[in-house]
Chain A
């Protein structure tokens, strides 16, 4: 046993000692613990209890027979999924979209936050911030409709590019443009909202550092590079790790709205497949099995990236 662990143990006290101390702590800070209670109940009721439902991934779940009464089929659904040759296609589509998201969308709020941070007029900055949040509150259905109006075959963008290039680009019905449209819509909708956490991190930067740097003759870019960015580095890493956890999440509503016969080869992701199987066709077991696999991969990715963060000297998630 390392000395560190031994110390920890000594500090905690062993067995009864530990519980006694915990109880006296609770007694002392009862109001704080009371504040914690709703959160604990929330997690138990909505996060832990539903986990028992995972068992249906190993059953041929028929709602009428219930979770306990349905037939146990073991790994049938997993075999069925990997037995269908398209699963590799769904996985690649999911990963490509996620990686594109990471490369093009993830940095966008950081850049925007840095730009906002450099604004001189505080009032203008506040106004701009508010306006930038607006797209987040627009339903994805509306966003897709707006896209149709602009990029569809009678839309202004479609006609302009057709005139400029001499041939039309089928933004809405081509497998080549599909992913770019999705990323574009995501950037338009979520970049402003994504700045919040980075702007919050930026407020923690010590302004004396800037003054000192200015005295030393550092220009705006230098200050940005040597003071601002390092200050929000841990926030960026934290967000990146969290993002890793949802690498396999593409959402389904956005993709289903944009999908059609022309782009199905690239629009079919794991989430879309889960939705089609689970909700549209009512095959809850199959959908749960795929969902379970996704979760396992996601947890692995989070643990893995957290480890890397530690190796880079960052604090990481925990």
Chain B
């Protein structure tokens, strides 16, 4: 009898649970994004951020974090799955496999949703130019992940430069050369410029600053030509080669893995870097948190750098966005699609942006009397731990299509806001000088087929030239090799597409 009663009760409970679920069933959305926070595991059980998102949108998020190292490999293989995640971040929106899959209909076409300002106001508010950049055959398949533009630049150790006898602002290429030479002379064990196996960014920063185009340029006849054909490109390489010769660059920089890049500055082995400018304040904050007694400004980011003729050009690290979020057709049915797009729209609104980028008040941040986000000193550890466990890499789903709408807005807690503020200001100041790649919106078949191998020829030769392994003649021979193996054809194809679009 007892058994029967308990069985009955269990069944009753099951039914109530089922009916409850049916009445108010949250809509589950699966998401795959790159993972950068590798030291702490993501916690799904009892995650207050997930609960808040579900409360606000009725969406139950199922996050799948994949290490950023090799993320592209995982995207390739995910495309072959029968049960892919509904939303998928793609870091290279122009990868051949993405273009092919989009053309075959693997992703939902979002063009009409983006045009629907009434139902999806945040998505519709995105700049048409960037949407155009990620479009494929005139259709938009993904929501771009907006990034600060131009973002790339130069920063250096302010204190070391002062000690070395350089105590003014870097305003011209000559200033930069003088600074680099003085930093190179600091000691035999240290180097001026921090370079590693990823040299392409460094090379782009200096060659474009010298006046070279970004990947592809337009000559006086209005034709497309490759960046290395510009004399300024060689000037930039010569600048690095000279610095290498005088001991300003680690002779074995090419052996240094990218993961060591930050540590070289932290160990005080090199004092200048051409990279993302936001790294300047990240390094500053690292020193403040990890080195006793650091209170003054150690790093300085450089503003516009003028060439001899007074003109200024800046290499943008991106085209205003870093990859996109795609909706897999295999995972989302046509009737569910508006719900998923609606969720993406919410992610781009003030509420969504704040939660995805900053988390929750009282969990990962607090709000001060001026209405800014901050973390009280006694909560720093708790906030950092919560942020790693619960917020993890949610910001990778953040798109920020209509611009930054975070509310409350961010402010640094340690009072040293200068570099962060300077970064935001520099992006605005440098943006007009940014040199964009004119071929970005076009698709060249040769670039799809052999682009990776061809650009490797150019970048390998550049590195070897900087390190003095090959001569200028051999460098030019490598350029000829590039041209004969498909570079000329690629140029012709881009020219055709470019002229057709004019």
Contacts and interface: CB of A to CB of B under 8 A. Distances in A.
A172 B452 contact: no
Contacts of B484: 85
A13 interface: no
B197 interface: yes
B254 A262 contact: yes
Nearest to A279: B73
B252 A173 contact: yes
A303 B419 CA distance: 68
Interface in B56-91: 72-73, 75-77, 79-81
A65 B104 contact: yes
Contacts of B371: none
A192 B153 CA distance: 50
Given A64-B105, A153-B251, A262-B254, A282 B464 contact: no
Secondary structure call for the A interface: loop
A185 interface: no
B72 A64 contact: no
A261 B198 CA distance: 10
Given A173-B255, A262-B254, A283-B96, A63 B106 contact: yes
Interface string A21-44: 000000000000000000000000
Contact of A262 (B73, B104, B449, B467): B467
Contacts of B469: 262
A64 B255 contact: no
A262 B470 CA distance: 10
A172 B255 contact: yes
B464 A261 contact: yes
Given A86-B485, A173-B252, A173-B255, A261 B76 contact: no
B252 A279 contact: no
Most buried by A among B329, B460, B484: B460
Contact of B197 (A63, A80, A84, A261): A261
Contacts of B101: 62-64
B485 A264 contact: no
Most buried by B among A62, A80, A84, A86: A62
B104 A62 contact: yes
Nearest to B92: A281
B91 to A, nearest CB: 12
A81 to B, nearest CB: 11
A281 B252 contact: no
A282 B97 contact: yes
B251 A63 contact: no
Interface in B207-253: 250-252
Contacts of A62: 100-101, 103-104, 106
A236 to B, nearest CB: 38
Contact of B485 (A84, A148, A170, A280): A84
Contacts of A172: 252, 255
Nearest to B106: A64
B302 interface: no
Most buried by B among A64, A80, A172: A64
A135 interface: no
B463 interface: yes
Interface in A32-60: 60
Contact of B255 (A63, A84, A260, A264): A260
A63 B80 contact: yes
Nearest to B197: A260
Contacts of A60: 100
B450 interface: yes
A264 B254 CA distance: 12
Nearest to B484: A85
A170 B459 contact: no
Nearest to A153: B252
Nearest to B459: A261
Contacts of A278: 76
Contact of B79 (A63, A86, A173): A63
B75 A282 contact: yes
Contact of B80 (A84, A86, A148, A284): A284
B456 interface: yes
B104 A282 contact: no
Interface in A270-289: 276, 278-284
Contacts of A64: 79, 101, 104-106, 329-330
A152 interface: yes
A64 B82 CA distance: 9
A148 B255 contact: yes
B329 A281 contact: no
A55 to B, nearest CB: 15
Interface string B95-111: 11110110111100000
B199 interface: yes
Interface string A239-266: 0000000000000000000001110100
A281 B447 CA distance: 12
B28 interface: no
Contacts of A86: 453, 485
A280 B76 contact: yes
Contact of A281 (B76, B77, B106): B76
A218 B80 CA distance: 65
B254 A173 contact: yes
A283 B450 contact: no
Contacts of B81: 63
Given A62-B101, A152-B255, A80 B79 contact: no
Interface of A: 60, 62-65, 80, 84-86, 148, 152-153, 170, 172-173, 260-262, 264, 276, 278-284
16 contacts: A62-B100, A62-B106, A63-B101, A63-B106, A64-B105, A153-B250, A173-B252, A173-B255, A260-B255, A264-B460, A279-B76, A280-B76, A281-B97, A282-B76, A282-B79, A282-B100
Interface of B: 72-73, 75-77, 79-81, 95-98, 100-101, 103-106, 197, 199, 250-252, 254-255, 329-330, 449-450, 452-453, 456, 459-460, 463-464, 467, 469, 484-486
Given A63-B101, A64-B101, A261-B459, 5 more contacts: A62-B104, A63-B80, A152-B255, A262-B464, A279-B76
